[in-house]
Amino acid sequence: MKVKTQSKKVNKAWLNDHVNDTYVKLAKLEGFRARAAYKLKEIDEQFGLIKPGATVVDLGSAPGAWSQYVRRRLSPAGAAAGTLNGSIIALDILPMEPIEGVLFLQGDFREAEVLAQLEQAMQGRQADVVVSDMAPNLSGIGASDAARIAHLVELAVDFACQHLKPEGALVVKVFHGGAYAPLVQLFKETFRVVKPVKPKASRDKSSETFLVGMGLKKMP
């Protein structure tokens, strides 16, 4: 019973923090599905990644906050609906409520068939920006979790190498731990400019950070 009581206390504390969270309140006020929108907003504003007319691929898109942010950035008036100057393709293993102007594919990015569907949806275009908020279900076993995280990031990097414009950018979520240093090295081998970012909207207690890679190096 003691464990359950502690669990209830933890859940109550988390709920209290969540309800009083500045970014949660802001997301409700501005119509974003999750506070995560402000993580991408801060990264985009810092590096000027998403420009009018861009083709953006959103990996691990559900519930859709990042796609919502991109959609507004590509709208001449910054609106959540109406004219869109650019294109957005979103993909997630989970279902996602429709967003006007966003092409959503449901499937597992690790499967070749799903990757083929994504490539088909791009219709031969190269992406200006690929963003990935993908994260595996963490087991708590360090080595296993590090491997899962690394695998998703490696897939995103490989996808970027194949489908990103030479001057394009990739943003991925990573976690500090066993997989972090090798993933930073992978980014440095792949991109001319690499920046780690911990947005203000990312919770202090979270070990998540984001890697931004800009400008593909010419592969030998």
Query: Out of 41, 173, 200, 218, which one is annotated catalytic?
Result: 173
Pairwise CA distance, residues 36 & 50, whole Å = 16
End-to-end distance of the chain based on CA atoms, in angstroms?
A: 60
Look at the chain and count its residues.
220
What is the CB neighbour count within 10 angstroms for residue 118?
19
Contact (Cβ atoms closer than 8 angstroms) between residue 60 and residue 109: yes
Convert 63-99 to b/e letters by CB count within 10 Å (16 or more is b).
bbbbbbbbbbbbbeeeeeeeebebbbbbbbeeebeeb
**What region does 52 belong to: left with phi over 0, alpha with psi -120 to 50, or beta?**
beta
173 flagged as catalytic: yes
Peptide bond into 63 cis (omega under 30): yes
Q: Is the dihedral of CA 156, 158, 163, 169 positive or negative?
A: positive
Q: Is the dihedral of CA 99, 121, 50, 199 positive or negative?
A: positive
Tell me which residues are annotated as active site.
Answer: 173
